[in-house]
Amino acid sequence: MGDLCAGRVAVVTGAGRGIGREHALLLAEHGARVVVNDLGGDAAGGGSDLSPAQEVVAEIEAMGGEAVVNGANVADFDAAGQMIHQAIDTFGSCDILINNAGILRDRMVFSMSEFDWDAVIDVHLKGTFAPTHHAATYWREKVKAGGEAFGRIVNTSSPSGIYGNVGQSNYGAAKAGIAAFTIITAMELVKYGVTVNCLAPGAFTRMTSDLPGFEKMDEETQEAMSPRWIAVPAVWLCSEAAQNVTGRVFDVRGEQLGISEQWHLGPSTTQPDDPADLTDVMAGLMAEAQLNSGMHGLPTEGPGRPGPGL
């Protein structure tokens, strides 16, 4: 189909199903050799099964590409390192890392257990940090030894982490952390020739099929929200063409592609030293502030947002 990633070696986590599967397949279509990582658990993170990753590898091989299976838990720091080195040992390099693995344990905060919180933060946030650490170390050492590094990292945030969504405080906090992690690591790694970007996708997958707004989608809408759309900018961001794009969060939903620009300093003023004097000052700031965005990235009103009562 194309050659945007010809000769590159990619590691894709959570690549057995959904968005990760599409990343792996489209990277292979564009010439990359792929380490297909997937623990193979259910949507809540339980169990393990290598067959989804094996099936993706078989699909890649059937199209004439090269791929290998990796069943590591990406939140296991040492296993994440072994995954990066599997790419190096098998294919001679590691050029691309797409951090995509994730689970859902949605609860209202008063119903959320410590395990629900820890499990989601572990897979999403630590599961992004751990592979990134090992890949970044490899690229840095390569440059320090006098070589040149081609490094591309694409992380996975969510509209829930950028805009907020009821019932997903664990998931949203992890995804907001991934967006911040993307911005910071982009600054840290730019001098080594590494770009770091992030996708905040909306797609119809196994993980989203039961969520409000997704559970009643007809087949035509499901196709319009196919996870393959998410892979299109991901593969481009992994290419040579994206060498000057880093530290960005891209909102991707079907054919819609945008850049999230949620966090910036809005109206500001000099505050008094007595909290009793803040009421009028705060009312003025809130009146000037833009509305927070809802899950579709559009301004809304509601609790904690500027409204007529303030």
Catalytic machinery residues = 158, 171, 175
CA distances to 8, 147, 155, 192, 238 from 188, in Å:
23, 18, 15, 9, 18
| Gap between the Cα atoms of 93 and 89, Å rounded | 7
Q: Side chain identity at 267, as an amino acid letter?
A: P
User: Which residue is listed with tokens 């600054």?
Assistant: 187
- H or E segment and range at residue 67: strand 67-70
CA distances to 42, 107, 186 from 262, in Å:
32, 25, 18
Sheet holding 96-98, edge to edge: 67-70, 33-37, 9-12, 96-98, 151-156, 194-202, 249-253, 256-259
Query: Of how many residues is the chain composed?
Result: 310
- H or E segment and range at residue 137: helix 127-144
Contact 296, 280 (CB under 8 A): no
User: Which residue is listed with tokens 């294919």?
Assistant: 91
How many other C-beta atoms are found inside a 10 Å radius of the C-beta of residue 290?
11
Rounded to the nearest 5 degrees, what angle is found at the Cα of 38, between the Cα atoms of 36 and 43? 145
**Mode of pairing for the β-strands spanning 249-253 and 256-259:** antiparallel
| Gap between the Cα atoms of 178 and 223, Å rounded | 27
| Gap between the Cα atoms of 234 and 76, Å rounded | 25
